[in-house]
Structure 1
Amino acid sequence: MATTPTRDGPPPVVTDDQLAAMHDDPRFVDLKRRLFRFIVPATIGFLAWYLLYVLLSAYARDFMGTVVFGNINVALLLGLGQFVSTFGIAWAYSRYTSRNYDPQATELHDAVHYGEDAR
């Protein structure tokens, strides 16, 4: 069960110099790399999958009209697959960030806002 950390009062004001220094912090650079390691391949993969669906719909009408069973054809299954893959990516992103991103982001946040260096 997650609990909210208790702090006495609001966090101190962070100056522009402190924020600029944070951008040079190796932990911040690592955070950006971790995030891009998921986002870039997931985005490329999903856009390729979506483009394939659109191109098949436009140029492979006979294939897309192939009946799989009953009134269900390939186009309907691939269209539903778009929804499934969207939710799958959202679930995977949530899992990825909670394991690989959030703990380090919280550590860096605390270091910047509260002056705690928990390295």
Structure 2
Amino acid sequence: MSTETSGPASPAARYAAVQRSDEFAGLRKALRGFVFPMTVAFFLWYALYVILSAYARDFMGTKVVGNINVAIVFGLLQFVSTFLIAWLYSRYADAKLDPVADRIRAELQGDTAEEARP
């Protein structure tokens, strides 16, 4: 048995090369540029809800319409903001992340397909 590879580089070496590439670094930066600020914003929004529920009971108990109070409205807005973030991420990924990821994948699969040819 030989430990030599028939292609120009092993799959692990190709993936490591992609990981070190500027294109992949840009993809990671673009992902983090969306995910980190959005996570902080959502965490602060959720923390505001919890803090107000704990320390501003009179405010949260204020009736808005009928038996619906501010706490229920804020609680429902938590769900709305979650779906909004998911929708925004989907749009962001479609526009900024997926094209780059598709190019990287195509390059890797192209290398793999070339090695598989006799």
Q: Give the TM-score category using the shorter length.
A: 0.7 to 0.9
What is the distance in 2 between the residues matched to 1:98 and 1:89? 14
Find out whether 1:111 has 2:95 as its counterpart. Answer: no
1:15-40 deviation digits (Å, cap 9, x = unpaired): 11111101111100000001001000
* Greater Cα radius of gyration, structure 1 or 2: 2
SS in structure 2 at match of 1:55: helix
RMSD: 1.3
Of residues 92, 96, 111, the one that matches 2:92 is 96
Cα offset for 1:115? 2.9
Q: Where has structure 1 moved over 4 Å in runs of 4 or more?
A: none
Answering whether residue 67 of structure 2 is matched by residue 71 of structure 1, we say yes
1:87 maps onto 2:79 in alignment: no
Q: C-alpha offsets along residues 57-102 of structure 1, whole Å, 9 cap, x if unaligned?
A: 0111000000111111100000000000000000000000000110
TM-score normalised to structure 2 length: 0.84
Identity %: 49
- For 1:70, the aligned partner's letter is G
Q: Please tell me the residue identity of whatever aligns with 1:41.
A: P
* Partner residue of 2:14 out of 18, 43, 62: 18
Partner SS state of residue 64, structure 2:
strand
Q: Distance in 2 between matches of 1:30 and 1:83?
A: 31
Runs of at least 5 residues in structure 2 that lack an aligned partner in the other structure: 1-9, 113-118
Q: In the alignment, which of 53, 57, 72 is matched to residue 61 of structure 1?
A: 57
Aligned to 2:43: 47
